Copies of this chain bind each other. A is one copy, B any other.
Amino acid sequence: MSTTIKPEDTHRARGRPRCEDSRSRILEAGLELLEEFSFAEITADAIAERAGASKATIYRWWPNKDAVLVEALREAVAQELPFPDTGDLREDLRLQLQNFIKLLTGRRARVFTAFIAAAQSDPEVAETFQRVWREPRRAAAKAGLERHRGKQMRQNADLEMVLDALYGPLYYRVLTGRGKFSEDYADALTEIVLKGIVNPHQGRTL
């Protein structure tokens, strides 16, 4: 799975060093193409052309075309929204859903749908999607929700289920619906999930 060849850290290698600019242009080109095309539709030639690079350079540093796209996702996803922490459960849920809907209705949405589609038939893409996106995101969300356990959130809430209830409808709508979200979608979904997990001992304080 590793793609980029690591140079020795200690001393500079001989000859001309790798052009970091072309590396980032290639990844950026891959990401831009993912905003418009599916995995299979994106050709190595198209990446090279858009990046203003040579196809030879792509295959010099990546084992194949898909590895470029995989690394492009990894880079794009690196700095993503942390789970909110307002102290209030409802507000945390609402903000998180709103942020994610914003992501899923923007240009970058197709990057995710393209990846999920590709993952259905390519185990390597699936594994990367899990490791690079899904697992870290779910871990962050779990930690964010865990703070409320026993307080606003009921003690025995099943977070795996809660996360599915939160994110499932969003992915579902983007993948099988037409990707439209009403203005108050995040609010409405928040209320449903909230009622399902709220601590009954504190019902009056909400």
Chain A interface mostly helix, strand, loop or mixed?
Answer: helix
Residues of B within 8 A of A40 (CB): 40, 121
Chain A: number of interface residues, binned into ranges: 35 or more
Known contacts A164-B169, A171-B168; A38 and B121 CB within 8 A of each other: yes
A189 in contact (CB, < 8 A): yes
Asked whether, in the complex, the Cβ of B172 is within 8 Å of the Cβ of A168, the reply is yes
| Cβ of A156 to closest chain B Cβ, rounded Å | 11
A114 in contact (CB, < 8 A): yes
Choose one: B118, B162, B169; the contact of A168 (CB below 8 Å). B169
Mark out the residues of chain A between 51 and 73 whose CB falls within 8 Å of any chain B CB in the assembled complex. none
Known contacts A114-B120, A121-B38, A196-B192; A134 and B165 CB within 8 A of each other: no
Asked whether, in the complex, the Cβ of B38 is within 8 Å of the Cβ of A120, the reply is yes
Residues of B within 8 A of A134 (CB): 176-177
| Cβ of A22 to closest chain B Cβ, rounded Å | 28
**How many copies of the shown chain assemble into the complex?**
2
> Roughly how many angstroms separate A161 CA and B169 CA in the complex, as a whole number?
8
> Roughly how many angstroms separate A158 CA and B182 CA in the complex, as a whole number?
12
A141 in contact (CB, < 8 A): no
Asked whether, in the complex, the Cβ of A176 is within 8 Å of the Cβ of B171, the reply is yes
> Roughly how many angstroms separate A158 CA and B177 CA in the complex, as a whole number?
17
> Roughly how many angstroms separate A37 CA and B122 CA in the complex, as a whole number?
10
Asked whether, in the complex, the Cβ of B165 is within 8 Å of the Cβ of A192, the reply is yes
> Roughly how many angstroms separate A75 CA and B114 CA in the complex, as a whole number?
27
> Roughly how many angstroms separate A195 CA and B77 CA in the complex, as a whole number?
35
Mark out the residues of chain A between 152 and 186 whose CB falls within 8 Å of any chain B CB in the assembled complex. 158, 161-162, 164-165, 167-173, 175-177, 185
